[in-house]
Amino acid sequence: MVRKEMPYSLFHSRFPEVAERETRTITVIDPSHFNVPPAHYSFLEMFCDEPGCDCRRVFFSVVSSLQNDIKAVIAWGWEEQGFYVKWMGDNDPHVIKDLMGPVLNLASPQSNLAPALLKLFQGVLLKDNAYIERVKRHYVMFRETVDNKSKKKVPRKMGRKKKKKA
């Protein structure tokens, strides 16, 4: 079975002002707690830009201020297991667990810091309910631009002309 990869785009590409204000950055001063070097770690949100998709997932590209490059890509879905079973049409527990996350995205390059950054994400960001609600709001905003844009590209069917009988 050939799997089509889902396209993801940065939230910043559609809402730069909002992303500038609301992108979460964690400053690590003491490396001993999460085992990552002292730096600023920005969690850049990416959402699916496939028209009609409602996966309710986000990918975070985690960028370090030390080298200004991506150190990890974390995938996370905020819905319950039943949502992903229905959405995916598959009840394989491994597939569903990966959809729900949080997990390091297997299709993305990961640095040696990626496992520790996943723990940082779990230990800080996922414990912040206001942040979780913000991510969900960003998802809705992003999806509205994708789905409204796709509707403009698809011509509406105006109805069929009846064939005249000869």
> Rounded to an integer, what distance in angstroms lies between the CA atom of residue 121 and that of residue 42?
11
Look at residue 166 and tell me if it is in a domain.
no
Q: What is the pTM of this model?
A: 0.84
Nearest of 19, 22, 2, 20 to residue 11 by alpha carbon: 19
Look at residue 91 and tell me if it is in a domain.
yes
Look at residue 155 and tell me if it is in a domain.
no
* DSSP structural state of residue 126: G
3-state secondary structure of 98: helix
Look at residue 73 and tell me if it is in a domain.
yes
Q: Which domain holds residue 69?
A: 8-150
Range 91-99, long-range pairs (CB < 8 A, 24+ positions)? 99/55, 99/57, 99/75
Look at residue 71 and tell me if it is in a domain.
yes
Q: What is the pLDDT of residue 15?
A: 97
Does the pLDDT at position 5 exceed 90? no
Look at residue 46 and tell me if it is in a domain.
yes
**Mean pLDDT, rounded, for 38-44:** 96
Number of folded domains that form the chain: 1
Look at residue 158 and tell me if it is in a domain.
no
Q: What is the pLDDT of residue 6?
A: 53
